[in-house]
Amino acid sequence: MAREFTPKVLTANHLLEGDAIYRDGSGGWSRNHQEAKLFTDQREAEAALVAALAEPGTIVGPYLADAKAGPNGPLPVHFREAFRTRGPSNYNHGKQVELNHVSV
């Protein structure tokens, strides 16, 4: 039996900086997980992934990651995805200091 579809965000790494980026509601990419579009429909999510795979210009390695709705937008489910929204825990580097809500 097919597993029930759980909500997802479409994520990838930025081609130049390599940091985590997320497909937003306007079809662009955001560096902020909370600005991501939360896909609740499997077919729509997979179609977005296929489209992203054919869009090599600014992104690397797109994939669908589990996420859940939060008060200010989608939140990650897995701890790995949570780390990607912040940066490393040993230094104040990465998104935890650089995030300025600018779309890519």
Partner 1 sequence: MYQYNEFDEAFVRDRVETFRGQVARRIDGSLTEDEFKPLRLMNGLYLQLHAYMLRVAVPYGTLNPVQMRKLADIADTYDKGYGHFTTRQNIQFNWPKLQDVPDILSDLADVEMHAIQTSGNCIRNVTADHFAGAAADEIEDPRPTAELLRQWSTDHPEFAYLPRKFKIAITGAPNDRAVTKAHDIGLRMQRDAQGNPGYEVIIGGGLGRTPMIGKVLRAFLPKADLLPYLEAILHVYNLHGRRDNKYKARIKILVHETGLEAIREQVEAQFLLQRAAFEPVAEQVIANIEAAFAPPAYVSRPIGGDDASDAGFRSWMDTNIADHKRDDYAIVSISLKPIGGTPGDASSEQMRVMADLAERYGHSELRVSHEQNIILPHVHRADLALIYAALKAVGLATANIGLLSDMIACPGMDYCALATARSIPIAQEISTHFDALKIERDVGPLKIKISGCINACGHHHVGHIGILGLNRAGVENYQITLGGDGTETAAVGERAGPGFAADDLIPAIERLIEAYLELREAPEETFLDAYRRLGQAPFKAALYPDQVTRNAA
Binding site for partner 1 (CB under 8 A): 13, 15-20, 56-57, 60-61, 77-80, 83-84, 87-91, 93-95
Q: State the minimum distance, in angstroms, from the CB of residue 29 to partner 1.
A: 15
Q: State the minimum distance, in angstroms, from the CB of residue 70 to partner 1.
A: 17
Of 43 and 56, which CB lies nearer to partner 1 in the complex structure? 56
Question: DSSP code of 41?
Answer: S
Is the separation of the CB atoms in 52 and 12 below 8 Å? yes
Closest among 76, 87, 57 to 11, alpha carbons compared: 76
Rounded Cα–Cα distance for residues 31 and 19 (Å): 8
Of 42 and 95, which CB lies nearer to partner 1 in the complex structure? 95
